[in-house]
Structure 1
């Protein structure tokens, strides 16, 4: 009973405070709350706008970064390409210097080539005169043809030089071949029809059609000399048959002048 009275005494002041607080709340000006809410709303809108600007700037920054990255890659590629072009240009400049030197050398060679070709023809003419007397007319006609090409203004320098090279190649080939052919030579002041046998430039021999005479060219005496018929008649006839392809190849015996 005593406690119940104590609670009543406590609750009574609390109830009085609530009534007083409610009455005071009704007397407060609500415009302050409205202004506070308006400020809060404006702040939220400003924050939202700021967030949108931040988002826009962030997106713009990302786009600019991507563009920068692309342009940076393009610049690096261009630098590499430019370096390659510089190396190629340097190599081409070296080639141009080499070509210029070659042109100068060609100009010098072109100026000296006519003299060289004339000297080559003179040397070949002398060589044929001093060589064994085989196909003399054919060989001299070949020299004359090359000389006419040199004197012809319508023939290019390259073609002139080619003709001389062909002449030298043909003469060089005679030293590596053998052949037999009919010919007419003067023996003891009498022209005789003979079979000639040439073995490179080692031996040049003949035998008359009736096999009565066999001889060879003596390069030291610069004349035809007769050989011992008993020793060389059959050997030279067999050698002529081998060179003509009438019999199988075999070792042949021909007279040669041994080097000293």
Structure 2
């Protein structure tokens, strides 16, 4: 089990044993109502899939009561929030520690139960490279819309660069353009749909960007097109497939 890249078994060695690790299903919020006078229910918006619980059972073994207490404290500190990777599951979970309970078993041995409140269930990052192309279909696994990161490196100055297919109106679902202006030769521009930032060589470039939504990709085939002057521009798209 890893939290924020820390392998708990490697860090604590013989002081811990990691047992059952469980991913619970998400909480589902429905908006369907059934008015007494009606013959059938009325539906509102689509159901919302919200938090899900992640649970892990550990045994903590101390050389003394103080050692056991400090080990429990350090494990809880390591697990407060961030990315969680369970054993034998190739998914990355994002969440925060909601409950931690310890139970005395015998002299300086405790059962430690950790319960996380999680909201993202993702695969490892996928990178798609598009070398000087005007279009590309990106096939995305998963069953939820996922933020993506678009990196642009122009070979020369570009006055305006437009990306279609990576942003949608949140109400109508219709595609909307992402346009970025005044690109300089060799300077990497990053439109980060996860961090919600736009930078050029690390400096803020949001003022040169025209968009209503940061870029995302939908499950399945995403047809992307790229429009600029005749100046070539290398494009890299990064994303993590997400699941309900």
Normalising by the smaller structure, the TM-score range is under 0.3
Considering fraction of residues, name the structure with more strand. Answer: 2
User: Larger helix proportion, structure 1 or 2?
Assistant: 1
Question: TM-score normalized by structure 2?
Answer: 0.26
Structure with bigger gyration radius? 1
